[in-house]
Amino acid sequence: MTKEDVAKAMMNLQDRICKQLEELDGVSLFVEDLWSRVDGGGGRTRVIEDGALIEKGGVNFSEVHGEVTSMMRNNTEITGDSFFATGVSIVLHPSSPHVPIIHMNVRYFEMDNGVYWFGGGIDLTPHYIVPANAAKFHASLKLICDQYNTDFYPKFKLWADDYFFLPHRDETRGVGGVFFDHISESQLLSKQQLLDFCLELGDSFPVIYSEQANLGRNVPFSESEENWMNYRRGRYVEFNLVNDRGTKFGLVSGGRTESILMSLPKNAGWTYNIQLDEDSKEQKTLNQLKKGIDWISFIDQ
């Protein structure tokens, strides 16, 4: 399998996901922007806006390559002289507070010295946490992981808890999911199997998101619930701009800003020192933004 094969597989994955998300939304279509990177490679940014379900979302494919800069050498584990990176990255912000924000990313990295790795993840950020829905989400991820390696789900679930975390808020971004990075072939899994795992995770994305979206999209919501969605989106912005290593790396390495920041919502809000009733569903959601919750245990509750 060449790096070009991986890039082609990622590109096809983007096509399949976009098609299914358009069907799920039912109103809006993706608009595509092709871009190229001065130092090598480029991408296909696809953004969907003002849909029946999705208020703003992006499904980005990129394939970039070039010389390893000193900035990259100082900020990452990259060691070679030249690199190649490709992947698909998704963030969807729904218009309803009863549908969660979702993120998915699968990526492949290779250096001229032969070192390569896969990385990726899916995580769910409900505006209002419903433990039974979070359980369904985690159970789906576990099912995919278990087909490849039964160590994956427990390991990658912990990794997601640690990665999708806002230290300055002492809060997780949402109910987590799976996250993994720097995974290469081992006695257990070949390079082809790792690619298959990433692609299967990617292909499961529209299915998993459909299930989550359909649980909430027809539930009516009030203005106060919409305000809460805006507040929760503020935290999403904080995570992406303050904590997310991928966003930071993209911005400082001269990536295409509009493609990187498609992850930000149409609107977000900040209320100083918000005060909530201890019994409110908003406070209950905040109370559950913690690492280490075994979401699958809430199945059918």
Sign of CA dihedral 2, 159, 209, 142: positive
Distance (Å, whole) CA 269 – CA 286: 16
Please, which of residues 162-221 interact with a copy of itself by CB under 8 A?
Answer: 167-169
Contacts with a copy of itself, 45-64, as mask; x by CB under 8 A:
--x-x------x-x------
Q: Which is nearer to a copy of itself, 169 or 191 (CB)?
A: 169
CB atoms within 10 A of CB 292: 10
Q: Does 158 bind a copy of itself (CB under 8 A)?
A: no
Instruction: Identify residues 239-258 at the interface with a copy of itself (CB under 8 A).
Output: 241-242, 248, 251-252, 257-258
Token representation of residue 206: 């529209």
Task: Give dist(CA 178, CA 152) in Å, integer.
Answer: 9
Nearer to a copy of itself, 187 or 275 (CB): 275
For the record, the structure tokens of 243 come out as 């904590």
Query: Taking CB under 8 A as the rule, does residue 268 contact a copy of itself?
Result: yes
Task: Check binding of 70 to a copy of itself (CB under 8 A).
Answer: no
Pairing of strands 41-49, 31-36: antiparallel
- The question of whether 127 is a catalytic residue gets the answer no
> Of 144-152, 179-187, 235-243, 287-295, which segment contacts a copy of itself by CB under 8 A?
235-243
Of the residues 65, 93, 98, 103, only one is catalytic, namely 103
Contact 149, 142 (CB under 8 A): no
Write the binding mask 92 to 131 for a copy of itself: x where contact by CB under 8 A, - elsewhere: ----------------------------------------
- Token pair recorded at residue 100: 């969660």
Among 181, 199, 149, residue whose Cα is nearest residue 5: 199
Phi and psi, residue 221, nearest 5°: -140, 155
How many residues touch a copy of itself (CB under 8 A)? 32
- Name the residue nearer to a copy of itself (CB basis): 207 or 252: 252
Per-residue mark of binding to a copy of itself, 10-39 (x: CB under 8 A): -----------------------x------
d(CA 114, CA 22): 38
Alpha-carbon span 142 to 140, nearest angstrom? 5
Beta bridge mates, 89: 60, 105
Locus of tokens 């505006």: 127
Counting contacts by CB under 8 A, is residue 272 touching a copy of itself?
Answer: yes
Only one of the segments 6-14, 173-181, 264-272, 285-293 lies at the binding site for a copy of itself (rule: CB under 8 A); that segment is 264-272
Residue 265 sits in the site that holds a copy of itself (CB under 8 A)? yes
For tokens 């990187």, what's the residue? 260
Catalytic residues: 103
Using CB under 8 A as the criterion, which residues of the chain lie in contact with a copy of itself when the complex forms?
33, 47, 49, 56, 58, 167-169, 230, 234, 237-238, 241-242, 248, 251-252, 257-258, 260-262, 264-273
